[in-house]
Amino acid sequence: MEKKTYLDLKREVWDTGTCSGCGACVAVCPADALSFTDGAAATSPVSTGYCKQATDSVPCGACYAACPRTSVQPADTLGPYLELTCAAAAFEIPHRQSGGAVTAILASALDEGLIDCVVTVTEDRFTLKPSSVIITSSGALVMQAGSRYSWWVPLLAALKEAVIEQKYKKIAVIGLPCAVQALARIRNGDNDLLVPYAGAIRLVIGLFCTESFDYSLLTEKLRRDYGTEPHEIRKMDVKGKLVISRYDGSTTNLSLKELESCIRPGCHHCTDLTATIADISAGSVGSPKGSTTLIVRTPTGRAFVDAAVRSGKLILSPGADTAAIEKLATEKIKKNSS
Protein backbone atom coordinates (compact mmCIF):
# COMPACT_ATOMS: atom_id res chain seq x y z
CA MET A 1 0.00 0.00 0.00
CA GLU A 2 1.33 3.46 -0.87
CA LYS A 3 2.52 5.37 2.18
CA LYS A 4 1.05 8.74 3.09
CA THR A 5 3.20 11.80 2.32
CA TYR A 6 3.54 15.41 3.38
CA LEU A 7 0.55 16.18 1.15
CA ASP A 8 -1.63 14.05 3.45
CA LEU A 9 0.02 15.68 6.48
CA LYS A 10 -0.75 19.09 5.04
CA ARG A 11 -4.39 18.21 4.42
CA GLU A 12 -5.00 16.43 7.74
CA VAL A 13 -2.83 18.42 10.14
CA TRP A 14 -1.29 21.65 8.81
CA ASP A 15 -4.49 22.94 7.18
CA THR A 16 -6.74 21.93 10.10
CA GLY A 17 -4.79 23.94 12.70
CA THR A 18 -3.96 20.87 14.79
CA CYS A 19 -0.16 20.88 14.33
CA SER A 20 1.60 20.97 17.69
CA GLY A 21 4.91 22.27 16.35
CA CYS A 22 6.72 19.24 17.75
CA GLY A 23 8.97 19.17 14.68
CA ALA A 24 9.09 15.40 14.33
CA CYS A 25 8.21 15.57 10.62
CA VAL A 26 10.95 18.18 10.06
CA ALA A 27 13.50 16.02 11.92
CA VAL A 28 12.82 12.75 10.08
CA CYS A 29 12.28 14.01 6.50
CA PRO A 30 15.21 12.37 4.64
CA ALA A 31 15.09 15.04 1.92
CA ASP A 32 15.26 17.96 4.39
CA ALA A 33 12.24 19.30 2.56
CA LEU A 34 10.21 20.41 5.59
CA SER A 35 10.89 23.37 7.85
CA PHE A 36 9.26 26.02 10.00
CA THR A 37 9.59 29.60 8.85
CA ASP A 38 11.37 31.71 11.46
CA GLY A 39 9.20 34.48 12.76
CA ALA A 40 5.89 35.30 14.32
CA ALA A 41 3.21 32.70 14.79
CA ALA A 42 4.43 29.93 12.47
CA THR A 43 1.70 27.40 13.20
CA SER A 44 2.79 24.51 10.97
CA PRO A 45 5.71 23.47 8.74
CA VAL A 46 6.14 24.38 5.10
CA SER A 47 7.49 22.19 2.32
CA THR A 48 9.97 23.05 -0.41
CA GLY A 49 7.57 21.21 -2.73
CA TYR A 50 10.00 18.33 -3.23
CA CYS A 51 9.02 14.92 -1.79
CA LYS A 52 10.86 11.62 -2.38
CA GLN A 53 7.60 9.78 -2.77
CA ALA A 54 5.27 12.35 -4.32
CA THR A 55 7.94 13.75 -6.70
CA ASP A 56 10.21 10.76 -7.43
CA SER A 57 7.96 7.79 -6.50
CA VAL A 58 10.55 6.52 -3.98
CA PRO A 59 8.71 5.02 -0.96
CA CYS A 60 9.05 7.25 2.11
CA GLY A 61 6.16 8.45 4.33
CA ALA A 62 8.50 9.21 7.28
CA CYS A 63 6.87 12.58 8.11
CA TYR A 64 3.37 11.18 8.26
CA ALA A 65 4.49 8.14 10.26
CA ALA A 66 6.11 10.33 12.94
CA CYS A 67 3.31 12.88 13.34
CA PRO A 68 1.39 12.65 16.62
CA ARG A 69 -1.63 14.48 15.19
CA THR A 70 -2.61 11.85 12.64
CA SER A 71 -3.97 9.44 15.25
CA VAL A 72 -6.34 9.65 18.20
CA GLN A 73 -4.98 11.83 21.03
CA PRO A 74 -4.20 10.11 24.35
CA ALA A 75 -6.81 11.30 26.86
CA ASP A 76 -5.81 9.67 30.12
CA THR A 77 -5.04 11.66 33.25
CA LEU A 78 -2.10 9.85 34.86
CA GLY A 79 -1.45 7.09 32.29
CA PRO A 80 0.25 3.82 33.22
CA TYR A 81 3.01 4.00 35.81
CA LEU A 82 5.22 2.01 38.16
CA GLU A 83 5.75 4.77 40.72
CA LEU A 84 4.51 8.31 41.31
CA THR A 85 6.73 10.23 43.69
CA CYS A 86 8.17 13.58 44.72
CA ALA A 87 11.84 14.04 43.83
CA ALA A 88 14.59 16.64 44.04
CA ALA A 89 18.20 17.03 42.97
CA ALA A 90 20.67 16.47 45.79
CA PHE A 91 22.97 19.21 44.48
CA GLU A 92 22.68 22.90 43.60
CA ILE A 93 20.98 23.67 40.26
CA PRO A 94 20.54 27.47 40.13
CA HIS A 95 17.96 27.64 37.32
CA ARG A 96 15.96 24.50 38.11
CA GLN A 97 12.27 24.84 37.42
CA SER A 98 10.84 22.65 40.20
CA GLY A 99 13.05 20.24 42.16
CA GLY A 100 15.69 19.85 39.45
CA ALA A 101 14.90 16.13 39.23
CA VAL A 102 14.99 16.07 35.43
CA THR A 103 18.46 17.59 35.41
CA ALA A 104 19.63 15.26 38.20
CA ILE A 105 18.49 12.09 36.39
CA LEU A 106 20.11 13.12 33.11
CA ALA A 107 23.29 14.54 34.67
CA SER A 108 23.75 11.23 36.46
CA ALA A 109 23.10 9.30 33.22
CA LEU A 110 25.64 11.41 31.28
CA ASP A 111 28.29 11.06 34.01
CA GLU A 112 27.85 7.28 34.14
CA GLY A 113 27.83 6.83 30.35
CA LEU A 114 24.25 5.52 30.27
CA ILE A 115 23.53 8.11 27.57
CA ASP A 116 25.85 10.03 25.29
CA CYS A 117 23.67 13.11 24.78
CA VAL A 118 20.43 14.87 25.63
CA VAL A 119 18.19 16.43 22.97
CA THR A 120 16.33 19.26 24.66
CA VAL A 121 15.14 22.85 24.38
CA THR A 122 17.28 25.62 25.83
CA GLU A 123 16.95 29.39 25.65
CA ASP A 124 19.11 32.45 25.24
CA ARG A 125 19.22 34.00 28.73
CA PHE A 126 19.06 37.53 27.28
CA THR A 127 16.30 37.20 24.65
CA LEU A 128 14.63 34.05 26.10
CA LYS A 129 14.42 32.74 22.53
CA PRO A 130 14.26 28.93 22.67
CA SER A 131 16.41 26.55 20.60
CA SER A 132 16.43 22.79 20.04
CA VAL A 133 19.90 21.59 21.04
CA ILE A 134 22.13 18.60 21.83
CA ILE A 135 23.85 18.60 25.24
CA THR A 136 26.68 16.18 25.98
CA SER A 137 27.96 17.15 29.43
CA SER A 138 26.31 17.24 32.85
CA GLY A 139 27.85 20.68 33.51
CA ALA A 140 26.15 22.16 30.44
CA LEU A 141 22.88 20.46 31.37
CA VAL A 142 22.92 22.00 34.84
CA MET A 143 23.45 25.46 33.29
CA GLN A 144 20.39 24.93 31.05
CA ALA A 145 17.90 23.77 33.70
CA GLY A 146 14.46 25.39 33.72
CA SER A 147 11.30 25.37 31.57
CA ARG A 148 10.84 27.06 28.22
CA TYR A 149 7.18 27.97 27.90
CA SER A 150 7.44 29.62 24.53
CA TRP A 151 7.99 28.19 21.09
CA TRP A 152 10.18 29.47 18.28
CA VAL A 153 11.63 26.41 16.56
CA PRO A 154 10.39 22.86 16.09
CA LEU A 155 11.04 21.17 19.42
CA LEU A 156 12.68 18.06 18.00
CA ALA A 157 14.78 19.79 15.33
CA ALA A 158 18.08 18.69 16.94
CA LEU A 159 17.08 15.02 16.83
CA LYS A 160 18.14 14.73 13.19
CA GLU A 161 21.57 16.17 13.92
CA ALA A 162 22.00 13.85 16.93
CA VAL A 163 21.04 10.68 15.03
CA ILE A 164 22.06 11.25 11.42
CA GLU A 165 25.01 13.68 11.63
CA GLN A 166 26.55 13.07 15.06
CA LYS A 167 25.55 9.38 15.05
CA TYR A 168 24.87 9.25 18.78
CA LYS A 169 23.60 5.84 19.80
CA LYS A 170 22.34 6.47 23.35
CA ILE A 171 20.14 9.54 23.22
CA ALA A 172 17.83 10.88 25.92
CA VAL A 173 15.13 13.25 24.72
CA ILE A 174 13.20 15.71 26.90
CA GLY A 175 9.90 16.68 25.35
CA LEU A 176 6.47 18.11 25.92
CA PRO A 177 3.64 15.56 25.62
CA CYS A 178 3.18 16.24 21.88
CA ALA A 179 6.88 15.56 21.25
CA VAL A 180 6.68 12.47 23.46
CA GLN A 181 3.79 11.16 21.36
CA ALA A 182 5.85 11.71 18.20
CA LEU A 183 8.79 9.86 19.77
CA ALA A 184 6.48 6.95 20.64
CA ARG A 185 5.37 6.75 17.02
CA ILE A 186 9.01 6.82 15.93
CA ARG A 187 9.99 4.11 18.42
CA ASN A 188 7.01 1.83 17.81
CA GLY A 189 6.20 2.43 14.13
CA ASP A 190 7.02 0.19 11.17
CA ASN A 191 8.44 2.79 8.75
CA ASP A 192 12.00 1.65 7.80
CA LEU A 193 13.26 5.24 7.63
CA LEU A 194 12.48 5.73 11.32
CA VAL A 195 14.54 2.70 12.44
CA PRO A 196 17.83 4.67 12.97
CA TYR A 197 15.95 7.12 15.21
CA ALA A 198 14.14 4.38 17.13
CA GLY A 199 17.39 2.48 17.70
CA ALA A 200 19.22 5.53 19.03
CA ILE A 201 16.61 6.80 21.51
CA ARG A 202 17.35 5.27 24.88
CA LEU A 203 15.19 7.39 27.19
CA VAL A 204 12.25 9.78 26.79
CA ILE A 205 11.42 12.21 29.60
CA GLY A 206 8.11 14.05 29.19
CA LEU A 207 7.31 17.37 30.90
CA PHE A 208 3.72 18.01 32.03
CA CYS A 209 2.15 20.65 29.79
CA THR A 210 -1.09 22.62 29.71
CA GLU A 211 -0.10 24.81 26.74
CA SER A 212 2.82 26.63 25.17
CA PHE A 213 3.04 30.18 23.85
CA ASP A 214 4.34 31.58 20.60
CA TYR A 215 7.65 33.27 21.46
CA SER A 216 7.14 36.39 19.37
CA LEU A 217 3.50 36.93 20.38
CA LEU A 218 4.27 36.44 24.10
CA THR A 219 7.34 38.67 24.02
CA GLU A 220 5.41 41.39 22.22
CA LYS A 221 2.51 41.21 24.68
CA LEU A 222 4.82 41.45 27.71
CA ARG A 223 6.59 44.43 26.14
CA ARG A 224 3.39 46.22 25.07
CA ASP A 225 1.11 45.56 28.07
CA TYR A 226 3.61 45.22 30.94
CA GLY A 227 6.65 47.16 29.77
CA THR A 228 8.74 44.03 30.37
CA GLU A 229 11.66 43.08 28.14
CA PRO A 230 12.88 39.45 28.00
CA HIS A 231 16.22 40.31 29.66
CA GLU A 232 14.35 41.59 32.75
CA ILE A 233 12.70 38.19 33.34
CA ARG A 234 14.41 35.87 35.84
CA LYS A 235 11.86 33.06 35.67
CA MET A 236 8.50 32.14 34.18
CA ASP A 237 6.26 29.50 35.73
CA VAL A 238 2.88 28.17 34.62
CA LYS A 239 0.62 27.10 37.49
CA GLY A 240 -2.95 27.72 36.36
CA LYS A 241 -1.59 31.18 35.41
CA LEU A 242 1.70 32.51 34.07
CA VAL A 243 3.86 33.92 36.84
CA ILE A 244 6.61 36.28 35.63
CA SER A 245 9.39 36.90 38.18
CA ARG A 246 11.83 39.71 37.35
CA TYR A 247 15.43 40.26 38.42
CA ASP A 248 14.35 43.40 40.32
CA GLY A 249 12.22 41.22 42.64
CA SER A 250 8.82 42.17 41.17
CA THR A 251 6.33 39.59 39.89
CA THR A 252 3.31 39.71 37.59
CA ASN A 253 0.58 37.07 37.37
CA LEU A 254 -1.15 36.73 34.03
CA SER A 255 -4.32 34.68 33.66
CA LEU A 256 -4.26 32.14 30.85
CA LYS A 257 -7.44 33.79 29.53
CA GLU A 258 -5.50 37.01 29.08
CA LEU A 259 -2.79 35.08 27.22
CA GLU A 260 -5.22 33.25 24.95
CA SER A 261 -4.00 35.05 21.81
CA CYS A 262 -0.41 33.92 22.51
CA ILE A 263 -1.21 30.19 22.97
CA ARG A 264 -0.19 28.08 19.99
CA PRO A 265 -3.33 27.00 18.10
CA GLY A 266 -2.30 23.32 18.07
CA CYS A 267 -2.36 23.27 21.89
CA HIS A 268 -6.15 23.66 21.81
CA HIS A 269 -6.31 20.13 20.37
CA CYS A 270 -4.09 18.52 22.99
CA THR A 271 -5.53 16.32 25.75
CA ASP A 272 -2.34 14.90 27.28
CA LEU A 273 -1.13 16.76 30.37
CA THR A 274 1.26 14.24 31.86
CA ALA A 275 3.04 12.83 28.76
CA THR A 276 1.36 9.49 29.37
CA ILE A 277 3.63 7.52 27.02
CA ALA A 278 7.05 8.73 28.18
CA ASP A 279 9.52 6.57 30.14
CA ILE A 280 9.42 9.17 32.93
CA SER A 281 7.13 12.20 33.23
CA ALA A 282 7.92 15.27 35.32
CA GLY A 283 5.87 18.22 36.51
CA SER A 284 5.42 20.64 39.36
CA VAL A 285 1.76 20.01 40.21
CA GLY A 286 1.40 17.39 42.94
CA SER A 287 4.63 18.27 44.76
CA PRO A 288 5.59 20.92 47.31
CA LYS A 289 7.70 23.93 46.24
CA GLY A 290 11.28 22.82 45.53
CA SER A 291 10.22 19.33 44.43
CA THR A 292 9.40 17.71 41.09
CA THR A 293 6.57 15.21 40.66
CA LEU A 294 8.03 12.18 38.88
CA ILE A 295 5.88 9.55 37.20
CA VAL A 296 8.09 6.56 36.49
CA ARG A 297 6.32 4.61 33.77
CA THR A 298 8.57 1.97 32.21
CA PRO A 299 11.35 -0.38 33.35
CA THR A 300 13.75 1.83 31.37
CA GLY A 301 12.59 4.89 33.29
CA ARG A 302 12.88 2.93 36.53
CA ALA A 303 16.50 2.00 35.75
CA PHE A 304 17.49 5.64 35.10
CA VAL A 305 15.81 6.91 38.29
CA ASP A 306 17.42 4.13 40.36
CA ALA A 307 20.84 4.94 38.87
CA ALA A 308 20.44 8.64 39.78
CA VAL A 309 19.44 7.75 43.35
CA ARG A 310 22.42 5.33 43.63
CA SER A 311 24.80 7.99 42.37
CA GLY A 312 23.63 10.33 45.15
CA LYS A 313 22.27 12.95 42.70
CA LEU A 314 18.52 12.38 43.22
CA ILE A 315 16.42 12.13 46.38
CA LEU A 316 12.92 10.64 46.29
CA SER A 317 10.29 11.41 48.90
CA PRO A 318 6.69 10.26 49.43
CA GLY A 319 3.56 12.41 49.52
CA ALA A 320 2.81 13.30 45.89
CA ASP A 321 -0.72 14.67 45.53
CA THR A 322 -2.16 12.40 42.84
CA ALA A 323 -5.59 14.03 43.05
CA ALA A 324 -4.16 17.46 42.16
CA ILE A 325 -2.52 16.04 39.03
CA GLU A 326 -5.70 14.20 38.03
CA LYS A 327 -7.72 17.39 38.50
CA LEU A 328 -5.48 19.44 36.20
CA ALA A 329 -5.31 16.63 33.65
CA THR A 330 -9.10 16.26 33.63
CA GLU A 331 -9.52 20.01 33.11
CA LYS A 332 -7.19 19.85 30.10
CA ILE A 333 -9.06 16.90 28.61
CA LYS A 334 -12.43 18.63 29.07
CA LYS A 335 -11.19 21.92 27.65
CA ASN A 336 -9.59 20.47 24.53
CA SER A 337 -11.82 17.48 23.64
CA SER A 338 -14.12 18.64 20.92
> Which residues contact ligand SF4 by CB under 6 A?
9, 13, 19-25, 44-45, 66-69, 154, 176-178, 182, 209, 211-212, 264, 266-267, 270
The interface with ligand FAD within residues 52-111 (CB under 6 A) comprises 93, 96-103
Picking from 145, 155, 141, 132, the residue whose alpha carbon sits closest to that of residue 110 is 141
**Using the rule CB under 6 A, is 218 a contact of ligand FAD?**
no
| DSSP for 94-115, written as a single string | TT-SSSSHHHHHHHHHHHTTS-
Q: Which is nearer to ligand SF4, 33 or 308 (CB)?
A: 33
> H or E stretch including 141?
helix 138-143
According to CB under 6 A, which one of 138, 210, 219, 336 is a site residue for ligand FAD? 210
Sheet holding 171-175, edge to edge: 130-135, 117-123, 171-175, 201-207, 280-283, 292-296, 83-89, 314-317
Q: For the CB of residue 316, give the shortest distance to ligand SF4 in the complex, in Å.
A: 26
Nearer to ligand SF4, 8 or 326 (CB): 8
Among 10, 52, 69, 148, binds ligand FAD (CB under 6 A): 148
80 three-state secondary structure: coil
Q: Measure the CA–CA gap between 295 and 93, rounded to whole angstroms.
A: 21
Nearer to ligand SF4, 41 or 303 (CB): 41
Amino acid at 21: G
Residues in contact with ligand FAD, shown as a per-residue x/- string from 251 to 290 under the rule CB under 6 A: -------------------------------xxxx-----
- Distance CA(45)–CA(37), nearest Å, equals 7
- CA distances, 129 to each of 14, 20, 80, 251 (Å): 24, 18, 34, 20
Query: Smallest distance from the beta carbon of 114 to ligand FAD, in angstroms?
Result: 16
Which residue number, 28 or 51, has a Cβ lying nearer to ligand FAD?
28
d(CA 319, CA 331): 22
191 is in the binding site of which of ligand FAD, ligand SF4, none (Cβ under 5 to 8 A by kind)? Answer: none
Task: List residues binding ligand FAD (CB under 6 A).
Answer: 93, 96-103, 120-122, 141, 144-149, 155, 174-176, 207-210, 212, 238, 282-285, 292
